[in-house]
Amino acid sequence: MINIGDIVGRKSYNCDIAFEVVDITEEGIAILVGKTVRLIADSPLDDLVLLDDERIHREEAQEAAIIESVVNQSTPKNRKKFLMGKILHVDGDGKYMKKCMYLYKKLNIYAIGIEMKEQEMPNKVLKYIHYLHPDVVIITGHDSFNRKDKDDMDNYRNSKHFVKTILNIRRDYPVMNQPIVIAGACQSHFEALIAAGANFASSPNRVNIKSLDPAIIAVKCAPTSLLEPVKVVEVIEKTSNKNEGMGGIITFGTMKTLYY
């Protein structure tokens, strides 16, 4: 018997992704969100199988290893001489947001995390930007593409909400680096997100991205000097599906150097 909160795999996909059951409809359809990937999906209950603890622990260990790798490679020397950029992380998934906040804390990057449903983001995010004046804004959560016409926004679960949010941000903040915007989730409409004004977005090849991928981009922007461009190719190489999952434009960093 499958219940809300169970960790499951889809038999028809050879259990390639671990999902958490977040809802079950009256018609017996389970609403699923990825345990480590920013994918939302639905599935008949009879296509689901419970996953064992070993699989879950293995994926959690992989995430922990990613965090340690990013921390070891990102920490600037002589930190007291630098003022790194401030991050506003808006996430449709509170559990994923906490993982990202842990990464920011490990790197001593000042970040504010806000959990918010994707459909609420267009009308609510801007007030937080007005109040907090962040250097980097992440707009993420869960998304999916139904594999039909990739140019039709109606074929994506949440891309339209991300696009509207970015357009609202750029209406008030038209300069691309003020703030830097990182947007999207699994299989998102990459071209629409970039066209709306995102600096970095998912997903060029409509593939999945993992929970930490937007944060990995952010923690490269925050300690890069505002006089230097972020090494886009280098930072994307650190994400789970590299340039198939994330892309972006030339963007300058946000770190200020203190002279005294």
Residues 157 and 253 in one domain: yes
- Domain residues for the domain of 38 are 7-51
| 234-251 per-position pLDDT tens digit | 999 999 999 999 999 999
Closest CA to 183 of 95, 122, 132: 122
Question: Do residues 199 and 97 both lie within one domain?
Answer: yes
Strands (E), the chain: 7-10, 19-24, 29-34, 40-44, 48-50, 82-83, 87-91, 111-115, 136-140, 180-183, 200-201, 247-248, 256-257
Q: Is residue 194 part of a domain?
A: yes
In angstroms, the CA 190 to CA 69 distance is 27
Q: What is the pLDDT of residues 188-243, one digit of tens each?
A: 999 999 999 999 999 999 999 999 999 999 999 999 999 999 998 999 999 999 99
Q: Render the burial of 113-124: b for 16+ CB within 10 Å, e for the rest.
A: bbebebeebbee
| Average pLDDT score over residue span 94-116 | 96
In a domain? residue 35: yes
Q: How many CB atoms lie within 10 A of CB 3?
A: 10
User: Is 122 among the domain residues?
Assistant: yes
Residue 1 lies in a domain: no
Q: Are residues 80 and 203 in the same domain?
A: yes
User: Are 142 and 210 within one domain?
Assistant: yes
Q: Which amino acid is at 121?
A: M
pLDDT band at residue 55 under the 50/70/90 scheme: confident
Residue 80 pLDDT > 80: no
| 94 is a domain residue | yes
CATH number at residue 204: 3.40.50.2300
Across all residues in the chain, what is the average pLDDT?
A: 93
Taking the CA atoms of residue 69, residue 74, residue 79 and residue 82 in that order, the dihedral angle to the nearest 10 degrees is -160
Q: Are residues 205 and 159 in the same domain?
A: yes
pLDDT in tens, 115-140: 999 999 999 999 999 999 999 999 99
Counted domains in the chain:
2
Q: Are residues 120 and 24 in the same domain?
A: no
Helices 53-74, 213-221: axis angle to 10 degrees equals: 10
In a domain, 67, yes or no: no
The whole-angstrom separation of Cα 226 and Cα 18 is 39
Residues 6+ apart with CB under 8 A from 175: none
Inside any domain, residue 182: yes
Does 136 reside within a domain? Answer: yes
